[in-house]
Structure formats: C-alpha cells, structure tokens
C-alpha cells in the first residue's frame, strides 16, 4: 500500500563509518513485529550470524531497525536475503500442508461442509 505519487523508501541501509560490510542496520518501513520477529528468527538460524535483532524505534512510527552483524567479512545483505528466502519457503510449505489437510477434511465431510471456491 505504498503511495504511487512519490517514491517512499521501503528499505534503507545504515552503516557505521569504518565498520566492514558485515555490520549493517536496515530500516524497514511500514513493518512491525509481524515481519520483524519472524525474520529475526529465520536469520538467527543462519550459522554465520553473530548478532541479529530488531527494534521498533517509536510505536507511532511504523518502521523497524533491523541489525545484522556477521562473523567474518560476509556482507550483511547475504543473511538478510537468505532469511527472507527461507521465510518465504516456510510459508509455502505451511500453505501446501494446510491445503492438503483441507482437502482431506473436505473428503471426509464432503456432504456436510459447504463447498466454497478455494484459491
């Protein structure tokens, strides 16, 4: 639901001077705990991440500061990208499992449960 007229940044990167590419704070706009916590969880499972956390700077502003510090000189966008991909995969897996479970339920209760269009 970003505005069409002016280009609002959705993702920004803030890096401390002198530090290597491995320690970056990303600012994600229009996000809250929904994506922040689940993404933090996925990235924490990556082996080469030293630190991963997020804060909501002020509850009136809908943006989160997401910080990743990697071990070694791996650029911080790597674990972010892999975390997003993995979260997307988990969602896809959950969706597939749910659809399978639904179809089993409909088969068992076919005459009783209302047939509605499923996407």
Partner 1 sequence: MAETMNIVEEIRNRVILGEYNVKNNFRIDIVHLDESTMEFDMVGIDAAIANAFRRILLAEVPTMAIEKVFIYNNTSIVQDEVLAHRLGLVPIKADPRLFEYRSTGEASAEEEGSEIDTIQLQLKIKCSRNPRATKDSADPRELYLNHMVYSRDIKWVPIGNQADVFADSVIAPVHDDILIAQLRPGQELDVIMHCVKGIGQDHAKFSPVATASYRLLPDITLLEPVEGERAERLKRCFSRGVIDIQDVAGKKVAKVVDSRLDTCSREFLRHDDLKNAVKLARFRDHFIFTVESTGILPPDVLVTEAIKVLMVKCQRFLSELDSTDLE
Closer residue to partner 1 in complex, CB, 34/73: 34
Smallest gap from Cβ 19 to partner 1, in A, equals: 19
Is 58 an interacting residue with respect to partner 1 (CB under 8 A)?
A: no
Adjacent-strand bridge partners of 15: 24
Q: Which residues of the shown chain bind partner 1 in the complex (CB under 8 A)? A: 1, 3-5, 10-11, 13, 28, 31-35, 37-41, 44-45, 77, 80-81, 84-88, 90-95, 97-99, 101-102, 104-105, 109, 113-114, 116, 118-119
């Amino acid at each position: 639901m970003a505005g069409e007229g002016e280009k609002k940044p959705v993702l920004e990167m803030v890096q401390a001077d002198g530090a290597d590419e491995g320690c970056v704070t990303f600012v994600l706009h229009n996000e809250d705990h929904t994506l922040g916590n689940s993404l933090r969880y996925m990235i924490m499972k990556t082996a080469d991440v030293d630190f991963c956390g997020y804060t909501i700077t002020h509850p009136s502003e809908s943006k989160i500061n997401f910080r990743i510090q990697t071990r070694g000189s791996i650029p911080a966008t790597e674990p972010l990208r892999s975390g997003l991909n993995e979260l997307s995969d988990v969602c896809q897996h959950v969706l597939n499992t749910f659809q399978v479970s639904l179809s089993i339920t409909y088969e068992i209760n076919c005459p009783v449960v209302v047939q509605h269009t499923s996407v």
